[in-house]
């Protein structure tokens, strides 16, 4: 598996709309893009304007195909609500999380 961590700066007044937009965007990408396996969102306890969205992909190749120009149209509405600070990629070595 392959993970992508997007770091966002979200103005306080946009948090709820950003979350709703992220949810719709994640679902649309999962349903329409090969290899997209969903995402989860984290909000900083110390600074609520700091948000991470962590996407799971079947492979780096699948994500690279999606990310081709680094500004996928599917993420446009999210970028209108928040500033994307960084994008980092990681190969998943082991996942010991449980439901």
Residues in the chain: 99
Mean pLDDT of 33-55: 97
Whether the predicted pLDDT of 86 surpasses 90: yes
pLDDT number for residue 30: 94
Residue 69 is predicted with a pLDDT of: 63
Kindly give, in sequence order, each residue whose CB lies less than 8 Å from that of residue 95, ignoring residues fewer than 6 positions away. 1
Residue 45 tokens read as 């306890």
Q: Write down the domain spans for the chain.
A: 2-91
Residue 17 has pLDDT above 80, yes or no: yes
Which CATH number is 2-91's, of 3.40.50.720, 3.90.25.10, 3.30.70.100, 1.10.150.120?
A: 3.30.70.100
- How large is the average pLDDT for residues 55-74? 89
Residue 6, pLDDT above cutoff 80: yes
pTM of this structure: 0.92
């Amino acid at each position: 598996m392959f993970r992508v961590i997007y770091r966002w700066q979200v103005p306080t007044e946009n948090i709820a709309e950003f979350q709703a937009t992220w949810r719709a965007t994640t679902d649309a990408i999962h349903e329409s893009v090969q290899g997209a396996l969903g995402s989860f969102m984290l909000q900083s306890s110390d600074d609520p304007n700091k948000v991470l969205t962590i996407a799971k992909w079947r492979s780096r190749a699948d994500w690279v195909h999606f990310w081709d120009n680094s500004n996928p149209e599917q993420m446009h509405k999210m970028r209108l609500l928040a500033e994307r600070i960084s994008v980092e990629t990681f190969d998943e070595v082991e996942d010991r999380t449980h439901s």
